[in-house]
Chains A and B, each alone.
Chain A
């Protein structure tokens, strides 16, 4: 048994490709999701058409530019330049102050700022518009307070719980952990088992007195350890590179992860029993695990917005339940009482997959 595990470690450490998948991928994925695929907007280029040029417009402009969201790309002189500014490409928003802005504000107590947005990227446009309105509203509120006028309009004040700054990292980290644990565990075990089939060494293992369960345990133990190391790496990256804290119990998080890792490994063995070659195993893991995990687990696209059928399918994705669990622990900091149902679901799936794979793992060829 010990010799088997040792042998498996030799395989992993001597194959630079599996090392790369094992340790390179987690880091690259976390960094990619964290930095590149972010929905936060920083430094959007904007243009300003200030037809009034009074202290108030200048002050609002100043406020906008001093936020980290906007960079002034261009000062426009007239309305007909707006179209050209957008067409030139990199301008996402134009802020238009009308003539006699400050005077109108004094006289009517009410004035309009026009925001024109490039909606060829709808999400960006939405967010920029929200940021700008936010800044302008805050300004006007401050002014009225200063003038001792009580604002007439009712303001909604939203409080963002658990992720006050709406950082997308908070959303991605649980998803990335899920994908990586699943991928590393399932794909690597299924590949390593099918490799023995391809090389003909499985024939020799089968004629040995080893029991199927011993072969399976020998195969998966190294990957349990490596996946666990991966998990720690991701959590450290999340903590120190993106400043994402874990609110809840770390022990609980690790225990839940181990459960999920074991489930993925069992799935990997199941895949290896139905595939004949390494390529087949890899493709199966990719399409059967990766894509549904990314698309249907609620990692990127909210499950509530999916058609009913897809919502049903998402219920059988173990990754969906695991994402719920880690989000609960990492962001809300709640205990097992709040997600024992999800844990039970994963536990049952794990037992199911283990039973299936031990049953399907053949003592004979064919």
Chain B
């Protein structure tokens, strides 16, 4: 039922920018696969190539063994695509939007109601409201319903959670989980690192390169060095203070803490070095704790390496 996606050496440049640099990926049938990376990483370009909206400069890609260049019409028939901007008609109501998308795929809302039921029940009370008047989370659910209306075997979601509140984001991922169980291959891109752990596998992308492809737990397990979280009473110059400690690497603000990575063989000695240096600068209430690296730490570490090359 579900389909694999195969990407081979895809490159794409716009005038001066190289959006994709020989990207190769294999996505298994039925996988919930995440593309994680900041704006300009090349996620949207890759999705547009897969849906046949733009042509790659070189390389090939296939969906269910069908070439996305030659058989783009067949590929489009089994693909549900939700572009970065919710592609809804803001002057049409919720129901009108759904019916329209159903009819251009030669199907109807009734026929596939069971498929989108879980999502649609949440927006059904507003079915007579214009799409433009919906909240971000509601728009996103409507757009997802529209992308799902023709029972696609592959669902491509371009930053579906950007600009959506935390609660809606959580609900949205629960929906994706459910659909995956229904046997749909899902490709989803997101700039939010915390969403990476919800995918089966993720590709970390930066400026057209794939930095790493693996399960979220493998990626974090491969983190080199020991991560520490530091907190003091003078957070504003903490980063500068820590950067002056020779043993401390990869110092950056992370939420209300500062993350520091140590390659020192002895953690206690390292903590001692840090707290001495901080006390010298007049920091008080110093808390230094060992931390398990999360995807964002891995991403930032990989990014440093990528830029160094």
Give the B-binding residues of A (Cβ under 8 A).
2-4, 7, 10-11, 14-15, 199-201, 203-210, 363-366
Chain A residue numbers with a CB within 8 Å of B99 are 3
A201 and B53 in contact, given A207-B79, A209-B73 (Cβ under 8 angstroms): no
What are the interface flags for B66-90 relative to A under an 8 Å C-beta threshold, 1 for contact and 0 otherwise?
0000001100110101011111111
Contacts A3-B103, A204-B81, A365-B53; A199 near B90 (Cβ below 8 A): yes
A205 and B72 CA atoms in complex are apart in Å by: 14
- Chain B residues with CB under 8 A of A15: 91
Contact assessment for A11 and B53 in the assembled complex, using a CB-CB cutoff below 8 Å = no
Task: From known contacts A3-B100, A364-B53, infer whether A204 and B83 are also in contact, taking CB-CB under 8 Å.
Answer: yes
B120 on the A face (CB < 8 A): no
Q: Of A3, A14, A201, A366, which one neighbours B54 at CB under 8 angstroms?
A: A366
Considering the chains assembled together, what is the distance between the CA atoms of A363 and B83 in angstroms?
Answer: 16
Is there contact, CB below 8 Å, between B54 and A364?
yes
Instruction: Give, as a whole number of angstroms, the nearest-CB distance from B289 to chain A.
Output: 45
Quick check: B91 and A365 within 8 Å, CB to CB? no
Report B-chain residues with C-beta under 8 Å of the C-beta of A199: 85, 87, 89-90
What residues of chain A lie closer than 8 Å to B48, measured between beta carbons?
Answer: 365
Are the CB atoms of A200 and B55 closer together than 8 Å?
no
- Chain A residues with Cβ below 8 Å from B305 are none
Question: In the docked arrangement, what's the CA distance between A10 and B91, Å?
Answer: 8
Query: B54, A10: Cβ atoms under 8 Å?
Result: no
Report chain B residues within 8 Å CB of A200. 83-87
Expressed in whole angstroms, the Cα–Cα distance for A203 and B81 within the complex equals 9
A205 and B89 CA atoms in complex are apart in Å by 11
Closest to A204 in B: B87
Q: Is the C-beta of B236 less than 8 angstroms from some C-beta in chain A?
A: no
Contacts of B96 in A (CB 8 A): 7, 10
Chain B residues whose CB sits within 8 angstroms of the CB of A203 once the complex forms = 53, 81, 83, 87
**Do residues A201 and B87 form an inter-chain contact, with CB atoms below 8 A?**
yes
Interface centre among A205, A206, A207 (most CB of B within 10 A): A207
Q: State in angstroms the CA–CA spacing of A203 and B147 once bound together.
A: 12
CA distance A77 to B101 in the complex (A): 83
Given that A11-B91, A200-B83 are known contacts, is A207 also in contact with B51, CB under 8 Å in the complex? yes
Q: Which residues of B contact A205 (CB under 8 A)?
A: 104
What's the Cα separation between A200 and B88 when bound, in Å? 8
Is B92 within 8 A of A7, CB to CB?
A: yes
* A365–B49 alpha-carbon span in the complex (Å): 10
- Rounded to whole angstroms, the CA-CA distance of A3 and B100 in the bound complex is 6
Quick one: which of A10, A201, A208, A209 contacts B88, CB cutoff 8 A? A201
Chain A nearest CB: distance from B211 CB in Å? 27
- What is the chain A residue whose CB lies nearest that of B82? A204
Query: Which residues of chain B from 39 to 69 have any CB-CB distance to chain A below 8 Å in the complex?
Result: 48, 51-55
Instruction: Assess the A208–B54 pair: CB atoms within 8 A.
Output: no
- A-B pairs with the 9 shortest C-beta distances? A3-B103, A200-B85, A204-B87, A203-B83, A365-B53, A201-B87, A14-B91, A208-B104, A200-B87
- Minimum CB–CB distance for A33 against chain B, Å: 33
Q: Which of chain B's residues has its CB closest to A208's CB?
A: B104
> B35 → chain A, closest Cβ, in Å?
18
Find out whether the CB atom of B52 lies under 8 angstroms from the CB atom of A207. Answer: yes
Rounded to whole angstroms, the CA-CA distance of A208 and B90 in the bound complex is 19
Q: Is the CB of B105 within 8 A of A201?
A: no
List of A residues within 8 angstroms of B146 by Cβ = 204
Quick one: closest A residue to B92, CB to CB? A10
Q: Are B83 and A208 in contact (CB under 8 A)?
A: no
How many whole Å from A192's CB to the nearest CB in chain B? 11
Contact (Cβ within 8 A) A209 B104? yes
Closest chain B CB from A284 CB (angstroms): 23
Taken together as a complex, chains A and B put the C-alpha atoms of A161 and B79 apart, in Å, by: 67
Judge if B110 is at the interface, Cβ distance under 8 Å.
no
Q: Which residues of A contact B79 (CB under 8 A)?
A: 207
Does B222 count as interface, using CB distance less than 8 angstroms? Answer: no
**Does B16 sit within 8 A of A, measured CB to CB?**
no
Q: Smallest Cβ distance from B252 to chain A, in angstroms?
A: 34
Residues of the B chain whose Cβ atoms lie less than 8 Å from the Cβ of A365: 48, 53-54
How close is B179's CB to chain A, nearest CB, in angstroms?
18
**Which of B83, B86, B99: most chain A Cβ within 10 A?**
B83
Contact across chains for A207 and B81 when beta carbons are under 8 A apart: yes
Q: CA of A208 to CA of B80 in the docked complex: distance in angstroms?
A: 9
Beta-carbon contact of B53 and A207 below 8 Å: yes
Collect the chain A residues with CB atoms within 8 Å of residue B88's CB: 201
- B84: chain A residues within 8 A (beta carbon): 200
CB contacts (< 8 Å) of B55 on chain A: these are: 364
- Chain A min CB distance to B234 (Å): 46
The residues in B between 236 and 286 inclusive whose CB is less than 8 angstroms from any CB of A are none
